[in-house]
Structure 1
C-alpha cells in the first residue's frame, strides 16, 4: 500500500508513508472514506493522508480562530473554509479583499466576523458570536500575499475540557523581561532512537504547534504560529530547543516538548514562561525532569545581536 503523509505546517511538507508514527494505520483507517484521528497530532483523510492542525481550540460560545500572517508582505485576499468531516471538501465561510471588503457566505451570516482586521491588516482572526456543537471540526485560513503568494493555516475546534486542563508538574519556571530572547531546551538522559520531537504552546483555550522534527529524516517543520520560532532538527537529535526573540507579554504561557521514541513511549518536558517588567531573576532552579528519566533545562539568555540563525 502506498501513499503520502502530509504535514501542512511545513515548508518541506511531504514525507514518505511510514516516516511519521501512525501513517500506515492511518491509511488503513481512511480507506472507508471517513476522516478519523490517528494520533494526538494528525488526522486521517480519505485516500490515506494525514493532516496536522497548527492550532487546536476549545469550543466556546465566543471563540476565536487565530490567523496572523507572520512574514513581511502585503495581504491581497483572505478566505476561511470549514473542512467537511466526511468528504474533506472545503466549504467557504467568508472572503475578504482590502479593496472590495468582506463577503460572508449565507450560512454564516450573523455568526462570524473578523476580530482585528481593522487594527492589523495581517490579522485575519475569525471570531464567532455564538458557537455551538456544529462548529466542531477542521478549518483552513487561506491568505494570498504579495510577493510571497499563498499561505494557509489549519485549525481544529474540539469539544473537550480535559484536553486543555493546565498541565503539570512543571520541570522549569522561567522569568524574562520584554524585548529579551528566551531559549527553552530539553534533553534525553538515556540515548534512545527518537522518531519525532514536538514543541507546543499550551493556553487555557488553545494549543499551538510550534515545531515538529522528523528525526529519522533530519527535517524540521515550523508551524504557522503568529511569530517566528527558531529551532534545529537533525538525525542525531537527543536534545531540542526553541528560541523566541523580542519577547512580549503574549509569549507568557506553558511550553511542552514531547519526544516520541521507537518504543512508542512519549517523554515530556513542561516549562512555564512568564514575561514580566519586574526586575526579577532570569531563571529559577525549578524541578528536574526525573519523571521521564531525562534532564531538562530551561535557559534564558539576553541576546545583544538579533542575527540568530
Structure 2
C-alpha cells in the first residue's frame, strides 16, 4: 500500500516535455551508465528513474528511504546501481542494450528541504561530431576555472549554450536566452548547478566560472552563439596543469617507495651477514669434531710402570777360576 502511494505521487510529477533542455547526451553502447549524483546538503528521501515514451513515462526503478526498493521486471535482469546503498551517487547501469533503449531518461530526486529535482538524459545512436578546439587552457586543481567566449560576427545574439564534451558524452553546463521583455533567462545543467556561474550580461561576451576545479572538469567546452544573422561556435580544450610541478601526493609516493627500497636492501644485507657468520661457526665446529678421536688417549704420566725381573744363575766354574 505504501509503495502504491509512492508510485501515485510520482505519477503526479510533471512529465518531461520534448522542448525541455537535456542535461546529458550519451552515445548508445553495449553497456551505458546513466549518471545521477546529488551534491547538495539536503537529505534524499526518494529517487525515481523513468524512460519517456511519448507523453507517458515508463518506470525503471524507485527507491524510498523508508518504503524500500522497487525495480521493474523489464529491467531487473540487466540493471544495476553504480554504487549500492549510496545516498549521493544514484546512477544506474544498463547492460545488453539495443536500439530499443534509445530515448529520454529522467532521474527524479525528492530531497528535503529543497523539494524535487530532476536530471534529463538522452541516449542516441549517432556519434557526437568531432570538434576542433579554438584554444587550450590549463588550470590548477582546487582553483577556479575561468573561460571566456567572444562572439566576433556582426549582429545581436539571442541565445547562448555552453556544453562540455568528454568521451562520447555531452553535458549541458549553462544556458542563457534573451526574452521578449528584454530580461535574460539563465539556467544550468544538473551537474553544474551551484558550482558554476555564467556571466551573460552581454551575450556577445560570455564568461564561465567553475568553482574549485577538479580532474573531472577536464574536457572540451563549447559555446554556441545563436543569432538572427549568423551562428558561431567557439570551443576551448581545458586540462589540469601538471607540467612543471610535482604533485605532493606523487612526491610523497616516490619518497615512500625509495625509503622502502632502502629498508629492504639493508635488511637483506644484514641477513646475509648474519647467515655468513653463522655458517662460519658451523664449519669451524665440524672441523674440531673431525679431528677428535672416538677413544680417549691414554695418560702416559699416570700409567703404572711394568717392572721386569730377571733371575741370574751364577757360573760356578767361572768363579772358581779366580780363586
Structure 1-normalised TM-score?
A: 0.69
Structure-1 residue corresponding to 2:272: none
From 140, 145, 155, the counterpart of 2:121: 155
Q: CA deviation at 1:237?
A: 2.3
Give 1:1-309 correspondences, 5 Å limit. 45=18, 50-84=19-53, 87-118=54-85, 120-161=86-127, 163=128, 165-168=129-132, 170-216=133-179, 217-225=183-191, 228-234=195-201, 236-263=202-229, 265-279=230-244
**C-alpha distance after superposition, 1:159-184 (max 9, x if no partner):** 012x2x4311x211111121111101
> How has the CA–CA distance of structure 1 residues 266 and 190 changed in structure 2, closer, same or farther, with 3 Å as cutoff?
closer
**1:51 aligned counterpart, secondary structure:** coil
CA contact (8 A) 1:249 1:276 kept: no
Cα distance in 1 for partners of 2:161, 2:150 equals 13
Give the Cα–Cα distance (whole angstroms) in 1 for the partners of residues 209 and 89 of structure 2.
23
Cα deviations across residues 179-207 of structure 1 (Å, max 9, x unaligned)?
11110111123441111000000112210
SS in 1 for 2:37: coil
Length-normalised TM-score, structure 2? 0.66
Query: Which one has a larger percent helix, Structure 1 or Structure 2?
Result: 2
Alpha-carbon separation, structure 1, partners of 2:206 and 2:31: 36
CA-based RMSD of the aligned residues comes to 1.9
What does the per-residue CA deviation read over 1:221-253, in whole Å, with 9 as the maximum and x for residues that have no partner?
Answer: 11212562211233x421112111111111111
Q: Quick one: distance in 1 between partners of 2:215 and 2:77? A: 32
Q: Which runs of 5+ in 1 are unaligned?
A: 1-42, 281-309
Specify which structure has the bigger relative contact order, considering alpha-carbon pairs within 8 angstroms and separated by 6 or more residues.
1
Unpaired runs of at least 5, structure 2? 1-15, 246-323
Separation in structure 1 between the aligned mates of residue 153 and residue 231 of structure 2, nearest angstrom: 13
Preserved CA contact (<8 Å) 2:158 2:203: no
In 2, Cα distance between equivalents of 1:52 and 1:189:
26
Aligned residue pairs total 226
The structure in which a higher percent of residues are strand is 1
Contact kept? 1:70, 1:226, Cα under 8 Å: no
CA deviation vs aligned residue, 1:119-177 (integer Å, no higher than 9, x gap): x412111111221111000011000001111101111000012x2x4311x21111112
Using the alignment, how far apart are the partners of 1:223 and 1:80 within structure 2?
18
Aligned to 1:15: none
